[in-house]
Amino acid sequence: MTQLLQRIETIANRLPHPMALFMYLCVIVMVLSAIGYGAGWQAQHPATGQWIEVKSLASSEGVVYMLSSLVANFMSFAPVGPVILMALAFSLAEKSGLLPALITRFTENTPVVMLPVAIAFLGVMSSIAVDSGYVVLLPLCAAVFWAAGRNPIAGLALGFACVSGGFSANLLVGPVDAMLSGISSESLALVVDQDVSILANYYFLIVSVFVVVVCCVLVNLFWVEPYLVNTTSMLAAKPTQPEPETPDGQSNPGAGFGGVFYLTLMTIVVIWLGLTLPAGAILQNEQGGLLTGPFMASLVALIALSVGILATVYGIEQKRLNSWPKWVKALEQGIVDIAPYLALMFVVAQFVAWFKWSSLGLVLAVELAGILESFAINGPLAMIALMLFTALLNLFIGSASAKWALLAPIIIPAFFLLGVAPEAVQGAYRVADSSTNIITPLMPYFPLVLAYAHKYDASVTVGRLLTIMLPYAMTLLLVWGGLLTVWLWQGWPLGPIASN
């Protein structure tokens, strides 16, 4: 396996630097949009019936759009704001000593054998907070492995595989379920007056949590960690990391938590409960729920503020952030750490915006979905075809909800007429979409993972990261997809509530 991965890495390392890659892609989008406009490329939107025509970025209208939206594209790019906010909060947590103290407690109290299992489970469950796991959990996964004397890149890879690869598995019903089932219901209404329940895949997703955790832990243990040991010079022993120093110049790594810290923690918990649980709480939506609405929109801010306040209190107790200059310097370090990521995101934001404005993505998705629709096959074989198609398309179009909004109006009615239940189609889409998230550099959070890796090993390239993540992706696609195929073959219910 090590030799195979090394061969793959040799090929993958021929990919250009991420900044160059996305610059090339911007140029390619410009050229293809001009060709598509001249050739009259178009497709009919499956839901609205409107004809979508490719627009040229090389036209006068396109040039005006690119110039006038350059700043707005970057400022409104979804992966930028949350990352900056979390970088500020976790920089405070690191410089105050709170993060090292928590990681030390976690690694000391968790058996070595169970450490990857705990990380994998937390990664899978993080999808309940949508994309927060990328900016909150992934840096902790690497740091926990580092503190335990294991390769931090392996910890980062395991966390990434579970946060992103296991995005559709969860023990709880979350916003992802609500979002996808809503799109599925609208698509099914095109052929029959039925709804797809938010619980349509619930039984399968509960089992999927344990399947994803076991698959990722085993891949990490038998493939990824041995590969990293054999191909890097990083020591297996615990690396040394300088601890923040107290004013007297002596390190203070073993400091405990004071009474003020615990009082602050209890106060924050009470505030969270008060904002969410009482009837009419301000973070509830109009129906009194939390899955959509103000709570989910405020979740990243709530986490960042809570971490920042706790880190500040801990830093003052330990005399590490006991002055304004120290506190401000700790915040500034957070921006310094993610500066390479922000520079890259400026180019990525332009590529995503230009690709969307030109309508190339829409036309591509509709045409490829039409190809899949032409396969007149039934049952599990149809699901296998759908999973392979989605896994391939996912390498080029990242957003799960946007992709499903385009595919569902074509796929769900077509397969319904073939006798395939919409909850089965939705389940197949979710498995394939999650599995290959981790092996496409076009995913917005992929560069963020690369930035996290550079904190521990500056030699990690796009090709190396893709090579490390490939065993996870292939294992999830085969095992998880195989589980769904067997599930449908046996006729087991995917959830407690089918389409009604």
**pLDDT score at 137:** 86
**Which tokens hold the place of 402?**
């946007």
Confidence of residue 250 (pLDDT cuts 50, 70, 90): very low
Percent pLDDT > 90 in the chain is 37
pTM for the full model? Answer: 0.77
DSSP assignment of 439-485:
G-TTSTTHHHHHHHHHTT-TT--HHHHHHHHHHHHHHIIIIIHHHHH
Domain ranges of the chain: 2-8+79-242+254-275+293-490
Q: Tell me what the pLDDT averaged over the chain comes to.
A: 84
pLDDT in tens, 353-411: 898 899 987 787 677 666 666 665 556 677 788 888 888 877 766 667 767 876 787 77
Residue bearing the bigger pLDDT, 59 or 175: 59
Residue 458 CB contacts under 8 Å (≥ 6 apart), including other chains = none
Q: Which helix (H) or strand (E) holds 208?
A: helix 202-219
Confidence of residue 254 (pLDDT cuts 50, 70, 90): very low
At residue 56, does pLDDT exceed 90? Answer: yes
pLDDT in tens, 84-112: 888 899 889 989 989 888 887 877 788 88
User: Shortest CA distance to 22 belongs to which of 436, 357, 393, 441?
Assistant: 441
Q: Which of 224-238, 274-288, 412-426 has the highest average model confidence (pLDDT)? A: 274-288
**pLDDT score at 182:** 82
Confidence of residue 475 (pLDDT cuts 50, 70, 90): very high
Among 169-173, 373-377, 386-390, 470-474, the minimum mean pLDDT is found in 373-377
Mean pLDDT of 30-37: 96
Among 264-268, 308-312, 423-427, 472-476, the minimum mean pLDDT is found in 423-427
Residue bearing the bigger pLDDT, 303 or 500: 303
Among 163-167, 272-276, 394-398, 482-486, the minimum mean pLDDT is found in 394-398
At what angle are helices 379-393 and 422-435 packed, to 10 degrees? 40
Confidence of residue 222 (pLDDT cuts 50, 70, 90): very high
**pLDDT score at 245:** 41
**Which tokens hold the place of 213?**
């955790």
- Side chain identity at residue 136, one-letter code: V
Mean pLDDT of 418-431: 87
Residue bearing the bigger pLDDT, 456 or 112: 456
Residue bearing the bigger pLDDT, 219 or 168: 219
At residue 243, does pLDDT exceed 50? Answer: no
Confidence of residue 35 (pLDDT cuts 50, 70, 90): very high
At residue 253, does pLDDT exceed 50? Answer: no
Among 157-166, 174-183, 449-458, the minimum mean pLDDT is found in 174-183
Distance CA 149, CA 127 (A): 28
**pLDDT score at 379:** 60
How far from chain centre, in Å, is Cα 380? 28
Residue 196 CB contacts under 8 Å (≥ 6 apart), including other chains = 181, 184, 185, 188, 422, 423, 426, 499
Q: 3-state DSSP call for residue 395?
A: coil
At residue 247, does pLDDT exceed 50? Answer: no
Among 40-54, 321-335, 391-405, the minimum mean pLDDT is found in 391-405
**pLDDT score at 248:** 41
At residue 188, does pLDDT exceed 80? Answer: yes
Q: Which residue has the tokens 């902790």?
A: 140
